[in-house]
Amino acid sequence: MGKHLVLVGGGHAHMVTLANLHKFIEKGHKITVIGPSPYHFYSGMGPGMLGKVYAPEEIRFATRHVVEKQGGQFILDKVSRIQPEEKIVLLASGKTHPYDVISFNTGSYVPRTEIKASGRDIYSVKPIENLIDAQERILELASSKTFIVSIIGGGPSAAEIAGNIWRLAKDCGKYMPNIEVFVGNNFMPRFKYGIRQKIARSLTKRGVKILEQGYVKEIANGQIILDSGRSYDTDLIFLALGVKPSPIFKESGLPTGPDGGLLVNEYLQSTAHPNIFGGGDCIHFKNQPLDKVGVYAVRANPILFHNLMASLQGEELQTFNPGGSYLLIFNMGDGSGILQKGWILFGGRLAFIIKDYIDRKFMKKFQSIE
């Protein structure tokens, strides 16, 4: 008799599984996918979409269509928590759903609790759909006056957002904004000096201000207030404060890592419940903490697909090897990129061409399933 597989989220780590749902169904299993949107947006191309390098339809995967086309069930809802002993999913709508095996690829979110924030024109950089609304608002402001855009955060996301706001206004606006990035005390502190220097130079030569004058304490009435008490006027704000895994796991009493991600073993399997799996930003890999970068979700794809099938079929699981160093390329918004892998580091048009080729190839591969 077939079993019931539930996938929570349609992100990168579930892509191979989503492409092969028909194989589960052919073996008699029932498939349910639960997600907050009919689409999954590729975060690596999000800043480029903001800058109008890409249209929204170029960076999204039609999750609902792919699921239903293969005979699975798609539920438009959010999972609030699960009851692992009873094998029940509790949804934000109040409904419940049973499962035999469940896998999470719920990604991450930008926490807003660290800063008091009130007022309009405040956009988190995740979910990526927020950038569509932000783009429209920037163009509205750029058509009527010079304005101030403030980006709060000192990591790669803040840098890419700043560069692509500049591009959007330059290509499509009547007025250019003053762009300020509030980075705390240090800009991109976890990166080596060379890459920090190249990214900072790319932004500052276009007039973007990188402010290393302390952390933002509060946002209110069009003002940004630092922990020192100093304040800055602003018209539009982006929150790029870093990301955290979904709170589902703590709410469900599941073992988690220090960041709140689902604690998984070498099989991408919960350390407490063998019928619970996960991949991408929402997990904490017990064997070694992994950076929140898409490459690990992509590398997990075939292992997660195999192990979900094996778990349903009672077969042997495969171990996940995160691999070594990975390629990093930042889209700086002016047609250039900055590339790093190991000791290789360079910037310019070629770096962006490489990123654009990799990203478009990735999307076309999975969009072809549609």
Tens of each residue's pLDDT in the chain, 370 residues: 799 999 999 888 999 999 999 999 999 999 999 999 999 999 999 999 999 999 999 999 999 999 999 999 999 999 999 999 999 999 999 999 999 999 999 877 666 656 776 667 999 998 899 999 999 999 999 999 999 999 999 999 999 999 999 999 999 999 999 999 999 999 999 899 999 999 999 999 999 999 999 999 998 878 999 999 999 999 999 999 877 788 899 999 999 999 899 999 999 999 999 999 999 889 999 988 888 888 888 899 999 999 999 999 999 999 999 988 889 999 999 999 999 998 999 999 999 999 999 999 999 988 877 7
Specify whether 122 is located in the same domain as 235. Answer: yes
Question: Which pLDDT score, from 0 to 100, does residue 114 have?
Answer: 61
Specify whether 235 is located in the same domain as 247. Answer: no
Write down which residue in 207, 224, 242 finishes a domain.
242
Residue span of the structural domain in which 345 resides: 327-370
What the block records as the tokens of 116 is 């008091």
pTM (predicted TM-score): 0.92
Write down which residue in 199, 227, 242 finishes a domain.
242
- What's at 323, amino acid-wise? G
- In degrees to the nearest 10, what's the CA dihedral of 367, 101, 320, 104? 60
27: domain CATH number is 3.50.50.60
Specify whether 155 is located in the same domain as 251. Answer: no
Residue 3 CA: distances (Å) to CA of 83, 102, 302, 311: 18, 11, 21, 10
Strand 337-341 and strand 344-348: the pairing is antiparallel
For residues 345 and 338, what is the distance between their CA atoms, to the nearest angstrom? 7
Tally of structural domains, the chain: 3
Specify whether 132 is located in the same domain as 14. Answer: no
Write down which residue in 197, 213, 242 finishes a domain.
242
Specify whether 228 is located in the same domain as 170. Answer: yes
In the block, residue with structure tokens 């310019």: 348
Question: Which pLDDT score, from 0 to 100, does residue 254 have?
Answer: 96
Report the half-sphere exposure of 258 (CA within 13 A, side-chain side).
Answer: 3
Q: Are 241 and 110 in contact (CB under 8 A)?
A: yes
Specify whether 292 is located in the same domain as 351. Answer: no
Specify whether 136 is located in the same domain as 171. Answer: yes
What does residue 244 show for φ and ψ, rounded to 5 degrees? -130, 150
Handedness of CA 282, 287, 292, 295 (dihedral sign): negative
Specify whether 135 is located in the same domain as 179. Answer: yes
Which has the closest alpha carbon to 151: 55, 220, 216, 200?
216
| Terminal-residue alpha carbon distance, the chain | 29
Helix and strand counts by DSSP (H, E) for the chain: 10, 26
In the block, residue with structure tokens 């929150």: 239
Question: Which pLDDT score, from 0 to 100, does residue 325 have?
Answer: 84
For residues 307 and 160, what is the distance between their CA atoms, to the nearest angstrom? 35
Q: CB-based contacts of 139: which residues, under 8 Å, 6+ apart? A: 168, 172, 173
Specify whether 18 is located in the same domain as 50. Answer: yes
Other residues' Cβ atoms within 10 Å of the Cβ of residue 71: 13
For residues 284 and 279, what is the distance between their CA atoms, to the nearest angstrom? 9
Specify whether 128 is located in the same domain as 188. Answer: yes
Specify whether 104 is located in the same domain as 249. Answer: yes
What the block records as the tokens of 157 is 């996301």
Q: Are 89 and 96 in contact (CB under 8 A)?
A: yes
For residues 340 and 191, what is the distance between their CA atoms, to the nearest angstrom? 10
Specify whether 227 is located in the same domain as 251. Answer: no
Other residues' Cβ atoms within 10 Å of the Cβ of residue 78: 17
Question: Which pLDDT score, from 0 to 100, does residue 113 have?
Answer: 58
